[in-house]
Amino acid sequence: MSAYFSTCYKTARAVFLSKVQAAAPSWQASFKHPLLSAQGEALVLDAVWFGDLNASKLLVVQSATHGIEGFAGSAIQSAWLDKAALLSEDTAILLLHAMNPWGFAHLRRVDEAGIDLNRNFVDFKVLPKAKGYSVLSKALIPLSWQPDALTKADKTLADYRDAWGERLYEEAVSSGQYTHPQGLFYGGTTPSWSRLTLAQIAKDLQLAKRKAVAIIDVHTGLGDYAVGEVICDHPPASLGVNWAKRWYGAAVTEPFLGTSSSVPKLGLIDYFWQQLLPNACCFITLEFGTGSTENLFNVLRADHWLAGQATEGLDKTLQQKIQQDLLTHFYPADKAWQQAVIEQGLVRINQALEGLQQV
């Protein structure tokens, strides 16, 4: 089981590509990121197609939309390749490995520009306003990470949470902001490399022409431990939600209805697919919980603070602790958690493939 889980992007990619080769895909392309890893290796979004290239029904499985969260999605993709059964007629599967390869390789959730890819899919003509985030920005990423500065910052956040409640606090922090490039959940001011690459893949493969497309985007870090929450951000009662409920059952949660551990968000990658395939797609975020939301916010705050520091004179012990805490939150070194990820990931893939047959 744990053979699917790697210790770095390079190994995860190597494992994935070796299994791709053994499974003989009908199409394959590598999209090279302009930058390299810290070790000088290529950073690549690998796209692999199995089944008829003209199939009208398609399942897309995406990993590492949030770089460091890629270990789980990559493991599910590799596990599926090992077990890959024959696909039904007129049905294909597209694996997108490492949507944000820079973040995966550098063990960060964001990309090289600090952009959260999952807030980047907005129309940049008018940038959305995020008033709540602006109020909290200095407390979320304080200038100093010393205990007294942190205590003061934490109190500001606690006061906001007490005044507005947990849900509105989470929305203020995480729904997406477009004004603080070094801050949390920053959506950028232009389309990111990953967004442009996804658009290119969709064009190359004529995805807009398909009759029914299921997309599973694998994430980690939010929700109950070792549970893969099936989050659906389609509008309530839309066709996308109806398909999700029919295929994945009562497991489906909806941020718009307040039934999910996720709050409604701006610029999600879902919106790319919903726009590309109106009334012909069902996008779910398969989000594997790893710990509390408070811990999620705290490890991200520390990571973003660290990213804004000059390397010279930096406390190495503090740096290593922040990096380790981040990795532990998004990628628990726990065999039971990893097993749960593989099992539930494969169940959801099978449900999507079966669901597509009913469309």
Q: Which residues bind Zn ion (CB under 5 A)?
A: 66, 69, 219
Helix (H, G, I), strand (E, B) or coil at 92: strand
Question: What residues form DSSP beta bridges with 215?
Answer: 60, 283
Q: Which is nearer to Zn ion, 171 or 355 (CB)?
A: 171
Q: At closest approach, how far in Å is the CB of 92 from Zn ion?
A: 26
Q: At closest approach, how far in Å is the CB of 100 from Zn ion?
A: 10
Q: At closest approach, how far in Å is the CB of 170 from Zn ion?
A: 14
Name which of 12, 62, 17 is nearest 283 in CA terms: 62
Q: Which is nearer to Zn ion, 91 or 344 (CB)?
A: 344
Residue 30 and residue 28: Cα distance in Å, rounded?
Answer: 7
Altogether, the residues listed in the chain come to a count of 359
Q: At closest approach, how far in Å is the CB of 283 from Zn ion?
A: 14
Q: At closest approach, how far in Å is the CB of 21 from Zn ion?
A: 28
Q: Which is nearer to Zn ion, 108 or 219 (CB)?
A: 219
Q: Which is nearer to Zn ion, 49 or 104 (CB)?
A: 104
Give, in degrees to the nearest 5, the angle at Cα 191 between 205 and 214: 40
What are 151's two structure tokens? 């205590």
Long-range contacts of 326-330 (CB under 8 A, 24+ apart): 326/68, 326/107, 326/108, 326/109, 326/299, 326/300, 326/302, 327/68, 327/107, 329/221, 329/290, 329/291, 329/295, 329/296, 329/299, 330/66, 330/68, 330/69, 330/71, 330/109, 330/220, 330/221, 330/290, 330/299
Q: Which is nearer to Zn ion, 212 or 222 (CB)?
A: 222
Q: Which is nearer to Zn ion, 160 or 330 (CB)?
A: 330
- The answer to whether the Cα torsion of 70, 71, 76, 77 is positive or negative is positive
Q: At closest approach, how far in Å is the CB of 109 from Zn ion?
A: 7
